[in-house]
Structure 1
Amino acid sequence: MVSFFEASLAQLSIHRVGNKLQDEFYVLSDASLQIEDEFLSNLLMQYYLKPFEKVNEVYRFLHSSDLNLNELFHFSTEVFKEKGRFHEVSQQITKYLFDLTNHPKIKSGELYVAYFNNVQIEGELLDAIGIFKSETKETYLKVYPEDSGFNLGYEQEGINIQKLDKGCLIFNTDKEEGFKVLVVDQTNKSGEAVYWKDEFLKLKIRNDNYNQTSNTLNVYKSFVTNKLEEDFEMTKADKIDLLNRSMKYFKEKESFEMDEFSNEVIGNPKAIESFKSFKQNYEKEFDTEIADSFDISTPAVKKQAKVFKSVLKLDKNFHIYIHGNKELIEKGFDDSKAMNYYKVYFKEEE
C-alpha cells in the first residue's frame, strides 16, 4: 500500500503527552528538530513509515455535520496550506490529544509530528503528515570494549524502532472527501482506550473494493458463527464448511454478486433471507453500506483467510482441520461411552 523509497523527512517536532487523570501534563518543545545526521534520518523513516507498508485499510476524516469541525482535518488543512505553521500546529495537535486522555489506562509518551515529501500511496507520490506516539519503553544492553576485553552496560527507557505503538499518515489528496488516512495502533487493542482512532482522529473507513470485500466476509463470518444456529440445527463442522465455501468463492471469483454468492454458498432459501436481513441490520448499526456487487480485492481475501477458522477442536485431545467435502465427516453419539464422536472418511494417508 505505502512505499517510502523516494520519501524524505522534511520537518519533525517532538512533544510529550501525559495523562491528566494521573496528574500528568503535556510538554511542548519550542522549535522543530533539524535532523542533520543521515543515518538517524533513515532510522526515523524506518520507525515511522515501515509499519504502514502492509496496511491496506484507507480511512477518511469525518464529522456528523461539517468536515471542517473535525479537529485533525482542520489541523492537516492548515499545515498543507501553509508549511511555515507546521510547528505551531504540532503544538495544537499535542494539546488536543492531551485533552482526550480521559482514561486511566492511557499511557503517557512522546508525540512526534512529522512532515514527509514523496510518500507513495496507491501509485501516487504525495506529501504526508505523520503523527506518532511512543508509549512502550525498553531496556537495551550495550557491549563496549574495555582494557583487554569487554564490559556491559545498559540503557533504560529506550525506544524500539521496530515497534511503533501508534501512528497515522495523512496524505495531501482527496481533501473534499476527508483526505486519505492510514492508521496503526499496536496498543490498547482491547477497546479500553480507543481514543486514538475514534476520538482523536475521528475516522471512517473508505468504502472501496478492499473494504467491501473485507466487510462482506466479516458480516458473513459473524452470521455463520453467531446467528445461523438460532434458526437451524448445526454442528461446528457445518459452520466450518460454510466458512470454507465462502472463502473458496472469494478466492475463485473476480467479482461478488449477492444472489450468486447466496445460492452457491448458502443454498437454503430461508438461510439466504436470514443472511440478507443480518447484512441490512449490520449496515444500519455501523452506518456502512455494503454493495450487492463489487470487484473482489485479493489482498482483503488473503487477510481474512488468516482469521477464517477451519479447525474443529475436540476437548483438549484432537484438532480436526476441515478443508474439503463436509460429507466425509459424520457426527454421532456413543451410548456406551456417553461421548460424542466424529467419523472421518478418507482414501489414503499422506
Structure 2
Amino acid sequence: MITTFEASLQQLSVHRVGNKAQDEYMVLSDAPLRTDEDLLRNLLMTYFLKPFEKVNEVYRFTHATEDLALNEICSFAKKAFADETQFHQLSQQITKHLYDVSAHPKIKAGEVYIASFDKVQIEGELHQALGIFKSETKETYLKVYPDAGGFALSYEQEAINIQKLDKGCLIIDADSEEGYKVLVVDQTNKSQEAVYWKDDFLKLRIRNDSYNQTSNVLGIYKNFVNEKIDDDFQISKPDKIDLLNKSMKYFKEKEKFDIDEFSDEVIGNEVASNSFKNMLSSFETEFDSPLSKGFDISGQAVKKQASSYKTVLKLDKNFHVYIHGDRSLLEQGFDEHRGKNYITLYYDKEA
C-alpha cells in the first residue's frame, strides 16, 4: 500500500507509558530525540515503516458524534501537520491520551515513539505522515566479538528487535476532512485487551474502498456457504466447495462486482440468492458499508481471501481431496456391502 524509498525521518520523540490500571507510571521526555547518525536513522526507518508496506487496509478517524474534532488523535495530527514547531508538545499529549486508555489490566507497558516523516508514498502520491509506535516486547541478544586471539561472548537484555513492531499507526496527511488516511499495525491483537489500540486509542473505521468491499463480500459469501446455506438446503461438502470455487473464479475473472450477475453465475438458485442478498443487506446496515450496488474488484483482496477459502474435503483420517475445478468429475455414493461412503473421481491423466 505504501512505499518508503523516498521517505525521510524528520522528528522523533520517545516517551514511556505504563499500565494505568496497575498504577504504573508514565514518563515524558523533555525534548525530541536527536538522530543524526545515518545508520541509526536507517534502522529506525526499517523498524517504523517496513511493516506498513504489506498493509492494504486503510482506515479513517471517527467519533461517535461524527465530529472529528472530538477525536483526540485526529485533532493532534491536524495540529502537528499545520505547525511542526508543536511536534514535541503534541507527542506528549498523544502519550498522555494513550496512558489514559491503557485501562485493561493486561495491557503491557512500553516505549512510545512519535515520529514525523516526509515523502511517504501512498496510492501514487507523496505526503507528510505522522507515526505513533509502541514497543512492548523485549528480547535478549548475544554479542560475539574478537578478543585476545579468539572471541568473547556477551549479551544485551531488554533489547528491541527492529523486525518486530508491536503496535503502530501511520497517519497520512491526506483527506483530512474525511478523517485522514490511516494505516495500522497491531501484532499483539489476538486477545480482547489488545483492541484498545485501534478502538479506544485511535477510534478508527475502515475506509470503504474497493479492497475492503471485495474482502467483505468474499468473507460474507464464505460464511454464507459454510454456515447459512444449511438453513435452507441439504448440501454436501463437495457442493459447498464447488460454490466457493465458483465465487473465487468470478472474482478473479471479473473487473467489477454485480450482485445480480454474481447470483446468476455463481449461486444459481433464487432462494439461496435472496438469502445471500439479505446477509449483504444486514452487513451494509450494521457497518454503514454499501456493497450491493457494485464496486471495482481488488486483485490484492482476492489474493488474500483466496488463502482462507478451504477447498479440501477431509475423509476420516485417511484422505484429503483437494477440489479445484469441475464438480461433475466427482461422484459420491454409499456401498451397502462395506457400509461406507465412497467417492469416485474421473480424470484424464496423472500430473
Q: Which TM-score tier does this pair reach, normalised by the shorter chain?
A: over 0.9
Q: Superposed, which structure 2 residues align to 1:172-187 within 5 Å? A: 172-187=173-188
For 1:91 and 1:337, the matched residues in 2 are separated by: 74
- CA drift of 1:343 comes to 2.5
For 2:341 and 2:179, the matched residues in 1 are separated by: 55
For 1:74 and 1:264, the matched residues in 2 are separated by: 47
Q: Superposed, which structure 2 residues align to 1:222-241 within 5 Å? A: 222-241=223-242
Query: What TM-score, normalized to structure 2?
Result: 0.96
- CA drift of 1:338 comes to 4.3
3-state DSSP of counterpart to 2:310: coil
Q: Residue 134 of structure 1 corresponds to which residue in structure 2?
A: 135
- CA drift of 1:317 comes to 2.6
Q: Residue 199 of structure 1 corresponds to which residue in structure 2?
A: 200
3-state DSSP of counterpart to 2:89: helix
Q: Residue 70 of structure 1 corresponds to which residue in structure 2?
A: 71
Which range is displaced more, 216-225 or 260-269? 216-225
Q: Residue 159 of structure 1 corresponds to which residue in structure 2?
A: 160
Query: What TM-score, normalized to structure 1?
Result: 0.96
- CA drift of 1:336 comes to 4.8
Q: 1:338 to 1:30 in 2, by over 3 A?
A: farther
User: Is the 8 Å Cα contact of residues 114 and 132 (structure 2) preserved in structure 1?
Assistant: yes
Q: 1:220 to 1:201 in 2, by over 3 A?
A: same
For 1:321 and 1:70, the matched residues in 2 are separated by: 48
Q: Residue 115 of structure 2 corresponds to which residue in structure 1?
A: 114
For 1:58 and 1:48, the matched residues in 2 are separated by: 17
The one-letter amino acid paired with 2:7 is A
3-state DSSP of counterpart to 1:194: helix
Root mean square deviation of aligned Cα: 1.4
Q: Residue 61 of structure 1 corresponds to which residue in structure 2?
A: 61
Q: Residue 99 of structure 1 corresponds to which residue in structure 2?
A: 100
Q: Residue 266 of structure 2 corresponds to which residue in structure 1?
A: 265
For 2:102 and 2:317, the matched residues in 1 are separated by: 42
User: Is the 8 Å Cα contact of residues 11 and 117 (structure 2) preserved in structure 1?
Assistant: yes
Q: Residue 18 of structure 1 corresponds to which residue in structure 2?
A: 18
The one-letter amino acid paired with 2:16 is R
Deviations 1:86-145 (A, max 9, x none): 111111111111111122221111111000011111111110000011111111111011
Q: Residue 315 of structure 2 corresponds to which residue in structure 1?
A: 314
- CA drift of 1:82 comes to 1.3
User: Is the 8 Å Cα contact of residues 281 and 292 (structure 2) preserved in structure 1?
Assistant: no
For 2:31 and 2:320, the matched residues in 1 are separated by: 59
For 1:179 and 1:327, the matched residues in 2 are separated by: 50
Q: Residue 51 of structure 1 corresponds to which residue in structure 2?
A: 51
Deviations 1:42-70 (A, max 9, x none): 01001100111111111110112211111
Q: Return 5+ residue gaps in structure 1 as ranges.
A: none
For 1:330 and 1:192, the matched residues in 2 are separated by: 48
For 1:332 and 1:191, the matched residues in 2 are separated by: 45
For 1:345 and 1:329, the matched residues in 2 are separated by: 7
For 1:183 and 1:96, the matched residues in 2 are separated by: 17
3-state DSSP of counterpart to 2:194: coil
Which range is displaced more, 183-192 or 206-215? 183-192
Percent identity between the aligned chains? 65
3-state DSSP of counterpart to 2:205: strand
For 1:61 and 1:318, the matched residues in 2 are separated by: 49
For 1:200 and 1:337, the matched residues in 2 are separated by: 61
Q: Residue 250 of structure 2 corresponds to which residue in structure 1?
A: 249
Deviations 1:309-329 (A, max 9, x none): 111223333221110011222
Q: Return 5+ residue gaps in structure 2 as ranges.
A: none
User: Is the 8 Å Cα contact of residues 117 and 128 (structure 1) preserved in structure 2?
Assistant: yes
Deviations 1:259-292 (A, max 9, x none): 0011000001110011001111122223322142
User: Is the 8 Å Cα contact of residues 212 and 291 (structure 1) preserved in structure 2?
Assistant: no
For 1:19 and 1:245, the matched residues in 2 are separated by: 49
Runs (4 or more) in structure 1 with deviation over 6 Å come to: none
